[in-house]
Every structure is written in C-alpha cells, then in structure tokens.
C-alpha cells in the first residue's frame, strides 16, 4: 500500500505528547518541530490518526516542499507537484489556508491564487480538460511558508480535530478539547485516580478524562474530509478503523471524575455535553464554588482552567481567587494540582512555587501550565511505601 508523509499540527509546547501518541499508534515519527510532528503511514494510518489522536489539530498529507523567493518560482514549483496522483478529475481543489513567516512572499491571498492557477495548469496537462467541474470530493490544500521554505499539504481532516462533536454548549472561556486532552496526558493521572475540575465550565476536562478512561476514540462520532477520497483511501478502511474504535470502548470502567462550577446554567451545559459525548454516566457535575472545594479521599488530582482576568475589571478579583485555590489545595491531603493560566502571579497567590511549569500557547495567548505535585500513593499489594514527592 502507498505510504505517505503525514504532518500533525498541535499546540506549541505539547509536541512531545503528540509524538508519544503517534508512536503508541505504531507509526514511525520523522521530525518533531515547533507545533507539529511528522510521521510516515499508509491510507489506514490517515484513518487511524484522525479517529484516535487526542492531541493533534488535524492530519495533513504532505504533497511536497520547496523554496520559493518569487511568485514565478511558486507557480512553477507548485505546478511540478504530482497533483494528478492525488486529485481525481472531478475533485474540488483550492488553497484553503496559507501562512507566511519570515518569507519574501507574504501576501496570502496572492499565494492562494497563484497556487490554484498552477494546480489547474498541471491538472489540465494531465487530464486534457480546459475546465474542471469540481463537483466531486473536496481536496483542500494548506501551504506554510517559513523563511522561504514552502510545505504543501492536503488536509485530510476538515474541521479541526478539537471539534469532537459533543460540545453543543460552551462557557465564556472554554479550553479546546485537544488542549484539555494534552494537558491531562502531561499529568500522571490514570482512571483509577480521583480527578476534580472546580472550574469545569462546559465540562471539557472531565469529558476528555472520561473518554480516556473509557478508551473512547475522540474522532469516533465525527466525519473527515478524506472519507470521500475513495481513490486514495477505500471506504472499507474507514469502516474497519471505526469498528476497531467501537470495540475498544469500555463504559463499564469505574472512575471518580467530578466537575464543579458556580453557574448552574453552565453545569447544565456540561451535563448536556457529557451526554452528547456518551460519557455522562462517568462524571459527577455539581454547582459548587471553589471555596467549598473538599474531598475525603487522598492522592487525587485537581486540574483547572480558572479565570485569567483578561478584562481590567476582572483583574482585581484574581489575587483573592488564586489565594482561595491555594487554601483549598492545601486542605486536600496528598493531592496534586495542575493549573493552566496566563496570570503571571498565580504561584504568588496560590502560595507555593510550582514543581514544574510548562509554557503553552493557547491560540495566540501565552499561558503557563503550573504543576504542583502531591505525594505518591502506596504501592498496592504490599505493605506500601513511604509517600514522597512525585505526583504519581
């Protein structure tokens, strides 16, 4: 079967998480760069990556790469790519997105127009048609320019992979599903450990955690652009991978996943989203303010996306809010705390320096993922071990 070079973009700062995911799917990783991981796979890999990857934003099939310092070079080198081996004569093709960083060619609208013209000329030479109906499957093209190096890809995904299909209602400042999944995977949390999100909003952290616990593939309930690429990916491949994903789901798992929020309407929305995701039976949502946060058990995990104070009128409330987070955390015996925020004084008011701090870009916003490690639980089956630092 034909093998392709595939590129999976992700949030800046979380490339290692995605790399591990791809390797666990059984594929060879080629390069890890800022915001993307390149790997090699066949048609089945395109299906499995789209359906199973939790932290990728999309899956791109690389058509080629070259350097272009002028629009003439861009036209000729785009025309030289083997478009006819990928796009059928009735295919709908266009440059859906172009980005340019530190390159001589920076007008994205001109880039898109010239590349489309070059593709048409190449297809015309191969198929012998003057015009193309473009009534068939969609083949969106993405082009990235970095220091005059151009990478050209077909987008196999369509709508970003963070759109799992379950989030029908959102809160004011939601975290994306892919980012929530990646942050959960940075922690040592596993399904046999307690997980609480006291600022759950529309429920993204608890829902993603429940999907992981149930071994539910994030792309199981949605469609992808490449599902219509029958010349490249047989329909049977998609059906086989979906069946594989369905067979892996285990909703009988025992978990303790909780989500709290002060707003009763938001709690209602979180419940509805969990129902859409098929994991409502695995999560307990409750209206509760953070100052009432407590839990009788030990060795749990707090994970949260609290307010950042983007608006000036909200900033004044942040010291007291983060001070309360710190107080409630200290009252929890042997727990670990994970906080994503852009608030620079988070550690100061939580009252403790984080054991680890990871810089992550949430869209264009620079945020920090503060990791406060609790004690390790004793090993099971023996006399136990002395609890120490580590957040395991």
- pLDDT tens for 242-300 read 999 999 999 999 999 999 999 999 999 999 999 999 999 999 999 999 999 999 999 99
Contact (Cβ atoms closer than 8 angstroms) between residue 46 and residue 1:
no
Confidence of residue 312 (pLDDT cuts 50, 70, 90): low
Please tell me the pTM assigned to this model.
Answer: 0.93
Q: What is the pLDDT of residue 193?
A: 96
Structure tokens at 274: 């969990």
What does the H/E/C string look like for 263-328?
Answer: CHHHHHHHHHHHHHHCCHHHEEEEECCHHHCCCCCCCCEEEECCCCCCCHHHHCCHHHHHHHHHHH
CA nearest neighbour of 228 among 319, 163, 141, 136: 136
CA dist., res. 97 & res. 114, Å (int): 13
What's the distance, CA 391 to chain centroid? 24
For residue 221, is pLDDT > 50? yes
Read off the DSSP letter of residue 35. Answer: T
Structure tokens at 172: 């004011």
CA dist., res. 135 & res. 155, Å (int): 18
For residue 203, is pLDDT > 50? yes
3-state DSSP percent of the chain in helix, strand and coil, to 5 = 35, 25, 45
Confidence of residue 313 (pLDDT cuts 50, 70, 90): low
For residue 311, is pLDDT > 90? no
Question: 226-247 burial, b if ≥16 CB within 10 A, otherwise e?
Answer: bbbbeebbeeebbeebbeebee
Backbone angles phi, psi at 47, to 5 degrees: -65, -50
Q: How far is CA 49 from CA 86, 154, 326, in A?
A: 19, 15, 39
The whole-number average pLDDT for the span 291-320 is: 87
CA dist., res. 121 & res. 132, Å (int): 11
């Amino acid at each position: 079967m034909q093998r392709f070079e595939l590129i999976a973009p992700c949030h800046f700062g979380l490339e290692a998480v995605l790399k591990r995911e791809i390797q666990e799917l059984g594929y060879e990783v080629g390069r890890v760069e800022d915001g993307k991981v390149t790997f090699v796979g066949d048609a089945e890999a395109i299906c499995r990556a789209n359906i199973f990857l939790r932290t990728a934003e999309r899956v791109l099939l690389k058509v080629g790469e070259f350097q272009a310092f002028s629009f003439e070079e861009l036209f000729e080198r785009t025309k030289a790519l083997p478009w006819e081996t990928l796009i059928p004569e009735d295919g709908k093709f266009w440059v859906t997105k172009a980005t340019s960083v530190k390159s001589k060619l920076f007008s994205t609208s001109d880039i898109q127009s010239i590349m489309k013209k070059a593709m048409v000329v190449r297809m015309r030479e191969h198929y012998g048609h003057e015009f193309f109906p473009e009534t068939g499957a969609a083949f969106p093209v993405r082009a990235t320019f970095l220091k005059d190096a151009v990478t050209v890809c077909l987008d196999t995904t369509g709508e970003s992979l963070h759109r799992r299909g379950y989030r029908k209602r959102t809160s004011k400042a939601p975290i994306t599903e892919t980012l929530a999944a990646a942050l959960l995977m940075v922690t040592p949390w596993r399904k046999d450990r307690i997980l609480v999100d006291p600022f759950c909003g529309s429920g993204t952290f608890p829902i993603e955690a429940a999907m992981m616990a149930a071994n539910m593939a994030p792309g199981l309930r949605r469609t992808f652009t490449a599902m219509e690429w029958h010349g490249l990916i047989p329909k049977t491949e998609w059906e086989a991978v979906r069946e594989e994903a369905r067979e892996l789901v285990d909703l009988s798992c025992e978990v303790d996943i909780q989500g709290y929020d002060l707003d009763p309407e938001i709690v209602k929305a979180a419940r509805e989203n969990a129902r859409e995701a098929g994991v409502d039976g695995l999560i307990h949502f409750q209206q509760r303010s953070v100052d009432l946060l407590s839990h009788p058990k030990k060795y749990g995990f707090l994970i949260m996306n609290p307010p950042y104070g983007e608006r000036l009128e909200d900033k004044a409330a942040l010291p007291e809010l983060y001070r309360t987070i710190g107080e409630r955390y200290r009252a929890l015996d042997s727990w670990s705390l994970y906080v994503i925020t852009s608030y620079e004084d988070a550690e100061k008011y939580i009252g403790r320096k984080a054991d680890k701090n990871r810089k992550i870009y949430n869209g264009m916003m620079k945020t920090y993922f503060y990791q406060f490690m609790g004690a390790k639980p004793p090993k099971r089956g023996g006399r136990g071990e002395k609890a120490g630092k580590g957040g395991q």
